[in-house]
Amino acid sequence: MENTKASSRYLVVSDLHLSDIEDHADGWKAHKSARHAFDDELGELLRWFRESGEQGAELTLVLNGDVFDFDLVTAVPSSPPWPITRAERRFGLEPTPSRSVWKLRRILQDHPRFLQALEEFLAAGHRIVYVMGNHDREFHFEQVQAALTEELQRTAASAGRSLASPALQFEPWFFHVAGVLYAEHGQQYDYYSSFRHVLHPELVRKGERTIALPMGNLSNRFLVNRMGYFNPHASDYILDLFRYASHWMKYYALARRSLVANWFWGSMRVMGRLLAYRRQYHAKPKRYELLLEAAAQRAALPVASLEALARLHKPPITTRFYRIVREFWIDRLVMIIGMLAATFGLALTPAPLSVKIMLPLALFPLIGSAYERLAQGDTIFTVEHQVPEFARKVSELLQVQVVTFGHTHRPRVIPLAKGTSFVDTGTWAPAGPHDRGKTTIPGFRNYLVVESDERGVTMSLGSWMPASGPERDAEHGAAARVVHALTAIRKRVSHV
C-alpha cells in the first residue's frame, strides 16, 4: 500500500506485449515487425510524465501486466546451456526459470530504448511497480526479476550512472494505494487466462519448476504462433467456418505452411497439456497462507480483504472441459464427422435417392443451427463485458476511487458510483487484423494518470499515439484521429 501525505502521481500502462522482433516480407507475424516498435514513444511518455505536474510530486510508474510477452518468443539459443527438445525448437522454450531468463534478455536485445527509458526514470529518483499479467507471469521466478534488475544496472553503468538498488517492485497480484488506486492486470476474471493460485502459479514438469500456463497462453504458444497471418493481440483468429476457409484459400492453399495441421495438432497439444497437469493446476500449494499474509502486509490490508478479492476470481477453464473442446472446434469436427458417417450410412440403405439427398440437406443444417444455439456460453470476449462489475466489487471492498485493469485491450472509462471509476488501459500492441486485405495498425497506446493530493484525486485516460503525418499512411492517420477524439472526451468526463 502507498501513503499519500505529499502529492503523488501514478502513470499506469499495460499490455505493451514486448517481444523479439521478426520481419517477414510476406506479412507473416506482422504483429512482431519492427515498424510496430514504440520504444521511442514510450520514452517520450515517461519523460513527459516526469516533467509535467506539480514539482516535487512523488512519481510511480505502474506497469500493469503483459508488458513483456514471453509466449510470442519462438527463438532458441544457438548454444544452449541446457537440452532443447524438438517441441521447444518448434514452439519456443518452456517457461522454466533459466529459459525464461534467456527469453527476457532476447526481448531486451531488440528493445534497448525501452530499457533505457526505465533506467532513466529510476535514475531520476522515481519508482516502478511491475504488476504481473498472464503473458509475463515468468516474473514469478526470482531469477527473471533479478535478470531485469541486472539489465537496468548494466544500462545505467553504460550511461555513467550507478543504479545499485533500483526502486523496482514486483507484484504478482495487484498494486494498492489506500483510498485512491487499485491496479490489477485482470486475467483473474477470465476463465481462459486465470491462474488457480495467483500467488504461486507454478507446477513441476519433467522435474523442473515451470509456470502453470492457462489455456490462453498455451493456445498462443502452440497454435497462434504457428498461424502467423493472424494478429493474436486483436483476436482476429476467431472466425466462422466460411471465413476460415477464405483465410486458408488466401494464405495457405498455394503455400508450404499449413493451417489445418497446425490447428489440429496444436489443439491436441494444448488439451493434452491441460489434462495431464490438471491435478497440479488445482492443488493448493503448501504454505500458501504465508504468501497471502505477505501480500496482505505489502498492501497494508487485512488477509480477509485479500481472501474476499480472491473469491471474485474465475477458476481456470480446466474445470470446464467442454468449453475447452468447443473453443478448439473439436465439437464441430466431431459433429461433421458424425454427419458424414450418417450420410454414408444412409447412402447404403435402399431408401429412394431423393431421400438420400434431401434428408441430409434439410436435417443436418437444422441440427447444426440448434446445437450452436444450445451451446452458447462464455467465450474469450465474455470478460470484456464482465470486468466493470468486478471492478465495482473491488472498489466497494477496498474503498478506492480508481480501479484499473488491462488484459482486454479495450480502452474505456466507466463510472462505477459517485466518485468512483473503472479504467481499462487498452494496449500498445498492434491493433486490427492483417487479414481480409488489411494491415495491422499501431495500438492505441493508452495511459492512465492518477493524481492524489490534499485537494482529492483526479484521473485521465490518454493516448500517446502520434497524430497523422507524412510518415503515416492514411489508415494509420485515421486511426490516430479517432483515438485522439475519444481521449478528449474521456479526459473531460473522467475526473473523480
In this structure, the answer to whether residues 248 and 230 fall within a common structural domain is: yes
Angle, helices 39-51/112-123, rounded to nearest 10 degrees: 10
Matching residue, cell 527463438: 75
Residues 6+ apart with CB under 8 A from 373: none
Segment 80-98 shows an average pLDDT of: 95
Q: What is the pLDDT of residue 478?
A: 36
In this structure, the answer to whether residues 335 and 237 fall within a common structural domain is: no
Q: How confident is the model at residue 236 (pLDDT cuts 50, 70, 90)?
A: low
Q: Where is mean pLDDT largest: 34-48, 160-174, 422-436?
A: 34-48
In this structure, the answer to whether residues 208 and 279 fall within a common structural domain is: yes
The domain tally of the chain equals: 2
Q: What is the pLDDT of residue 22?
A: 92
In this structure, the answer to whether residues 350 and 204 fall within a common structural domain is: no
Q: What is the pLDDT of residue 330?
A: 80
Segment 468-476 shows an average pLDDT of: 42
Q: How confident is the model at residue 495 (pLDDT cuts 50, 70, 90)?
A: very low
DSSP summary character for residue 37? -
Among 20-24, 257-261, 414-418, the range scoring the smallest mean pLDDT is 257-261
Segment 16-41 shows an average pLDDT of: 91
Segment 147-170 shows an average pLDDT of: 90
**Structural domain for 353, as ranges:** 329-374
- Asked whether residue 148 carries a pLDDT value surpassing 80, the answer given is yes
Q: What is the pLDDT of residue 240?
A: 65
Q: What is the pLDDT of residue 1?
A: 57
In this structure, the answer to whether residues 354 and 457 fall within a common structural domain is: no
- Asked whether residue 50 carries a pLDDT value surpassing 90, the answer given is yes
- Asked whether residue 322 carries a pLDDT value surpassing 50, the answer given is yes
Q: What is the pLDDT of residue 481?
A: 36
Residue 483 within a domain:
yes
Residue 394 within a domain:
no
Segment 236-248 shows an average pLDDT of: 70
Residue 370 within a domain:
yes
Angle, helices 142-158/112-123, rounded to nearest 10 degrees: 80
Q: What is the pLDDT of residue 49?
A: 95
Residues 6+ apart with CB under 8 A from 434: 27, 30, 31, 229, 230, 231, 236, 440
Segment 75-103 shows an average pLDDT of: 95
Residue 1 within a domain:
no
In this structure, the answer to whether residues 280 and 365 fall within a common structural domain is: no
Q: How confident is the model at residue 241 (pLDDT cuts 50, 70, 90)?
A: low
Cell triple for residue 243? Answer: 471465413
Residue 2 within a domain:
no
In this structure, the answer to whether residues 215 and 361 fall within a common structural domain is: no
Q: What is the pLDDT of residue 492?
A: 37
In this structure, the answer to whether residues 349 and 225 fall within a common structural domain is: no
- Asked whether residue 474 carries a pLDDT value surpassing 90, the answer given is no
What share of the chain in percent tops pLDDT 90?
A: 56
CA–CA separation, 181 and 423 (whole Å)? 11
| Residue whose C-alpha is closest to residue 307's, from 329, 332, 288 | 288
In this structure, the answer to whether residues 410 and 462 fall within a common structural domain is: yes
Residue 3 within a domain:
no
Q: CB of 11 within 8 A of CB of 46?
A: yes
Averaged confidence pLDDT in the chain:
86
Higher-pLDDT residue of 492, 314: 314
DSSP summary character for residue 431? B
Q: What is the pLDDT of residue 438?
A: 55
CA–CA separation, 108 and 373 (whole Å)? 46
Among 83-97, 145-159, 240-254, the range scoring the smallest mean pLDDT is 240-254
Residue 425 within a domain:
yes
Q: CB of 234 within 8 A of CB of 430?
A: yes
Segment 205-216 shows an average pLDDT of: 93
The count of residues in the chain is 496
In this structure, the answer to whether residues 419 and 340 fall within a common structural domain is: no
Residue 151 within a domain:
no
Single pTM value for the model: 0.86
Q: What is the pLDDT of residue 39?
A: 94
DSSP summary character for residue 319? G
In this structure, the answer to whether residues 358 and 214 fall within a common structural domain is: no
Residues 6+ apart with CB under 8 A from 57: 6, 7, 8, 9, 451, 453
Strand partners, 345: none
What share of the chain in percent tops pLDDT 70?
A: 89
DSSP H helix total and E strand total for the chain: 16, 13
Q: CB of 282 within 8 A of CB of 200?
A: no
Higher-pLDDT residue of 138, 284: 138
In this structure, the answer to whether residues 277 and 360 fall within a common structural domain is: no
**Is 496 in a helix, a strand, or coil?**
coil
CA–CA separation, 423 and 403 (whole Å)? 6
Q: Where is mean pLDDT largest: 46-60, 118-132, 259-273?
A: 118-132
Buried b (16+ CB within 10 A) or exposed e, 12-37: bbbbbbbbbbbeeeeebbbbbbeebb
Segment 418-431 shows an average pLDDT of: 92
Q: What is the pLDDT of residue 485?
A: 37
Q: CB of 315 within 8 A of CB of 194?
A: yes
Among 186-195, 360-369, 436-445, the range scoring the smallest mean pLDDT is 436-445
